[in-house]
Structure 1
Amino acid sequence: MKMRIITLLLVALVSFARCGEKEEVIGESAVSETFTNPVWNGADPWLTKQGDDYVYCYSANNSIIVSRSKYMTKKGELETIWRAPATGWNKNCVWAPEIHYIDGHWYVYYAAGVSGPPFIHQRTGVLRSKTEDVFSDYEDMGILYTGDNPDDPETNVWAIDMTVFEHQGKLFAIWSGWKEQVDTDATPQHLYIQEMENPYTLKGTRVLLSSPEESWETGGPLNLNEGAEVLKKGDQVFVIYSCRESWLVEYRQGMLQLNDTNADPLNPDNWTKKGPVFQGNSAVYGVGHCSFVKSPDETEDWIIYHSKKSTEPGWNRDVRMQPFTWNSDGTPNFGNAISAGKPINRPSGEVEIEQTTGE
């Protein structure tokens, strides 16, 4: 009887050990070290890093939604922080929001209009968080004047895709706009830059920074410069922007480089244009409107961008991401757009976070 009890105990202990080993293996294998593009549906992806969190901002159904996550490749908790009002200049066509943390508040820059199509009413507005929490309530700071005569608000001009950046202690805004207000959205778009008095007020008058003039940014039915985003490395400043037609496979990225860190960014002569610096291929169509973040451990640079789901004209797009490197002259090297379904190593440090937290 004693021998039988001992035998049963040994069997139980071995079974328990094996169960423990099996659970441990399952736990490790559940954390994938790779991911594949696309990461999710959508367009105009804006991803920014604040502390250890990644904040993703996008629009859907005339609302602005924010995600906060420890991961680049996975959305976290979601909250709708703003819905378009029933009346007013911004009641419809909410496009391409960006969220920036400035002096203790989150600021959202977005485009909207009264109606569309045709999309001739688009202007740019600003929201401000009431606290440091990205999920706090937001107040509407109003519409920005993006024309040539700030003393006459009625002369405001079409503007989308605004981004902001700090340089030499000053705050600047860059956006895509028309030279003058017209009655057709089949109108060339240019990049404008302007200093800001504060995060919700432009200072002075707009400056024409870039027009679609080079052979690689022209040639289709409508010449566009839009979706400008600022990328910095050390004391170098770059503006990566989209050109050609957003609804075609030819959509691609150009670059402006500030010639000297002490140069005035409001002087167009202080910028050098190069391109294309990132474009589609036989498997990835029409890459555009990007944002840039560091990996969780700060050792890698990543580009987040959208691409078309097919070669057919239209705006059916998804969001992708991939790492990029730097050339010997200090300029970014975005490489080739990676095909859908091809395994990509997760951003450096992301696997370790998941293994530690189990979330």
Structure 2
Amino acid sequence: MKRYPKSNIRLAALLLCQFLLLGCATAVAPNQQQERDQPVAEEGYFTNPIADGADPWVIKKEGMYYFCSASHNAIYISKSAKLTELGQKVAVWETPDSGWNKSNVWAPELHHLNGKWYIYYAAAQKAGAPFLYQRSGVLESEADDPFGPYRDKGMLYTGDSIQYASAAAQWAIDLTTLKLNGQLYSIWSGWEKQVETDRTKQYLYMATMRNPWTISSNRVRISSPEQPWETGGELDLNEGPQVLKHQGKVFIIYSTRESWLKEYRLGQLTLSDTLLNPMQPENWEKTGPVFQGTAEVMGVGHCSFTTSPDGTENWLLYHSKKSSVPGWARDIRAQEFEWQPDGSPEFGEPVPAGVPIPVPAGQQQVLHR
């Protein structure tokens, strides 16, 4: 039985109406063919995908959604009152002409910390493959404005020898943050050591932070690709960690398997009590997959989370592959998720493209695709 969000039960009446309308449409005159072939825009519903692209990041603040993305060596922010419409992209930072971060800008995230906005991103000193030089950096807004301007605060230290001033950071992407019991932590995907091939396993690491732009400890590995559902492909990966908190628990929802293959999926780490030390790997329990593709929606991963405009619903944004062909042609999708009795998230199955989904609660109008 397919497990879609409970709100999709309301689709039955809508689909029945569409069936009846299509049945009547056979009597439409030939000169109305073009109009008849256009999708019917039903008020209060949207369909996936909602945008082209990958690695969706959204943050909700004061009733507005801010989306963060990267392309052509620049980072963009857009603003919208609607979760299902991303808004107009505005470039807020471009790569420098030289340096460690002049190329390969990947998966930026926008965070609001201590009254300012921070963008965490991955970049490299050399364009294109092989992807040997990815490191994580951070930008800080000069004021409390998500559109900047931003100052480049430099590369974050993501290695094992922070006590040495000359210690090199290790390969690192997809860095995000966790605030827990007054302590700020960073979580990211990285290599065990620097090697001369990008056909290398990726693990999830965590470290403490002194402030939003300074890592203050050596990294600790909290997850390795070792479960049967994380392995068996071309390359074993753990990447794209994202944080959820609910009922006294902390969840890290991450992507696993290969991002360019249809088997890409989501796994889960659970800190069962917020009083446990998150820097101790044994305190994290792994389960999965918690969200995976179907024959219709393939390669689901690299998610972010938010709530509906009225705050009553929880929503998942993720990307999926456009076809089963290996590669990074992807689009962005949204759907509601729920909570299980034990307090863990229940994502169900990805809703196929073209299936009407009720808009997030409190959103009055929607983009129909």
The TM-score, its normalising length taken from structure 1, stands at 0.89
8 Å CA contact 2:267, 2:290 repeated in 1: yes
Deviation (angstroms), 1:165 = 1.5
The AA in structure 1 aligned to 2:346 is: N
In structure 1, C-alpha distance between the alignment counterparts of 2:330 and 2:342, rounded to whole Å = 33
Q: 2:131 aligns with which of 110, 119, 126?
A: 119
In structure 2, C-alpha distance between the alignment counterparts of 1:183 and 1:30, rounded to whole Å = 52
SS of structure 1 residue aligned to 2:361: coil
Deviation (angstroms), 1:36 = 0.5
- Other-structure match for 1:64: 75
- Other-structure match for 1:142: 154
Q: Is the counterpart of residue 222 in structure 1 residue 235 in structure 2?
A: yes
In structure 1, C-alpha distance between the alignment counterparts of 2:84 and 2:223, rounded to whole Å = 33
Q: Is the counterpart of residue 337 in structure 1 residue 339 in structure 2?
A: no
8 Å CA contact 2:44, 2:366 repeated in 1: no
8 Å CA contact 1:263, 1:270 repeated in 2: yes
SS of structure 1 residue aligned to 2:112: strand
Between 327-336 and 151-160, the greater mean CA deviation after superposition: 151-160
- Other-structure match for 1:22: none
Q: 2:106 aligns with which of 95, 101, 113?
A: 95
8 Å CA contact 1:216, 1:276 repeated in 2: yes
In structure 2, C-alpha distance between the alignment counterparts of 1:278 and 1:30, rounded to whole Å = 29
The AA in structure 1 aligned to 2:154 is: G
In structure 2, C-alpha distance between the alignment counterparts of 1:154 and 1:163, rounded to whole Å = 22
Q: Give the direction of change, closer, same or farther, for the CA distance of 1:353–1:120 in structure 2 (3 Å limit).
A: closer
Deviation (angstroms), 1:76 = 2.4
Q: Is the counterpart of residue 271 in structure 1 residue 260 in structure 2?
A: no
Greater RCO, 1 or 2 (C-alpha within 8 Å, sep 6+) = 2
Q: 1:282 aligns with which of 283, 287, 295?
A: 295
Deviation >3 Å, runs of 4+: none
- Other-structure match for 1:233: 246
In structure 2, C-alpha distance between the alignment counterparts of 1:30 and 1:286, rounded to whole Å = 28
**Structure 1 residue ranges without an equivalent (≥5):** 1-28, 355-359
1:257-291 CA-to-partner distances (Å, cap 9, x unmatched) read 00212100000111100000000001000000000
Deviation (angstroms), 1:51 = 1.3
Deviation (angstroms), 1:352 = 7.0
In structure 2, C-alpha distance between the alignment counterparts of 1:53 and 1:353, rounded to whole Å = 15
Deviation (angstroms), 1:133 = 1.2
Q: 1:194 aligns with which of 207, 212, 219?
A: 207
8 Å CA contact 2:59, 2:66 repeated in 1: yes
Q: Is the counterpart of residue 313 in structure 1 residue 364 in structure 2?
A: no
Equivalent pairs, count: 326
Q: Give the direction of change, closer, same or farther, for the CA distance of 1:153–1:93 in structure 2 (3 Å limit).
A: farther
SS of structure 1 residue aligned to 2:207: strand
8 Å CA contact 1:193, 1:207 repeated in 2: yes
- Other-structure match for 1:252: 265
8 Å CA contact 2:247, 2:343 repeated in 1: no
8 Å CA contact 2:270, 2:284 repeated in 1: yes
Deviation (angstroms), 1:60 = 0.9
In structure 2, C-alpha distance between the alignment counterparts of 1:305 and 1:299, rounded to whole Å = 20
**Structure 2 residue ranges without an equivalent (≥5):** 1-39
8 Å CA contact 1:145, 1:153 repeated in 2: no
**Rg larger in 1 or in 2?**
1
SS of structure 2 residue aligned to 1:221: coil
In structure 2, C-alpha distance between the alignment counterparts of 1:155 and 1:78, rounded to whole Å = 34
Q: Give the direction of change, closer, same or farther, for the CA distance of 1:319–1:311 in structure 2 (3 Å limit).
A: same
In structure 2, C-alpha distance between the alignment counterparts of 1:179 and 1:136, rounded to whole Å = 34
Q: 2:121 aligns with which of 110, 117, 121?
A: 110
- Other-structure match for 1:24: none
8 Å CA contact 1:253, 1:278 repeated in 2: yes
The AA in structure 2 aligned to 1:39 is: I
- Other-structure match for 2:16: none
In structure 2, C-alpha distance between the alignment counterparts of 1:226 and 1:153, rounded to whole Å = 27
Deviation (angstroms), 1:30 = 8.2
